Amino acid sequence: MSLECRVQVFLNNISEKKAEAIHKALEPDNVDFPKDLAFKIENSKEVLIFTFEGKGNIRTLISTIDEVLEQTQVILKVTS
């Protein structure tokens, strides 16, 4: 039996301009993901939604989430 996880992170009250900047900056990292890992970005009004899905090694999923959130924090600082 393999562990499957789905994690969603919501960034609330984010401007369309910042959401677009984050999406554009992170999109290139969404290529060549490991086989059992997926990442999707959605924008809904003033909410940016990150969806992470992983099968198997939960540590890989956690590391990926951590990396994306660190990059997002840098992008938000730069665009402020």
Report the run of H or E that residue 71 belongs to, with start and end: helix 58-79
- Per the confidence metrics, is the pTM higher than 0.75? yes
pLDDT (tens digit per residue) in 1-59: 578 999 999 999 999 889 989 988 888 666 677 788 999 999 888 999 999 999 988 89
pLDDT score, position 31? 66
Task: List the domain range (segments joined by +) for residue 22.
Answer: 4-79
Specify the number of domains making up the chain.
1
Is 75 in a helix, a strand, or coil? helix
Q: What is the CATH number of the domain that holds 47?
A: 3.30.310.50
pLDDT attached to residue 11: 95
Smallest CA-to-CA distance from 21 within 62, 76, 61, 63 is with: 76
CA–CA distance, 55 with 74 (Å, rounded to integer): 28
Would you state the pLDDT for residue 79?
83
Per-residue model confidence (pLDDT) at position 27: 80
- Evaluated on CA atoms 74, 78, 79, 80, the torsion sign reads positive
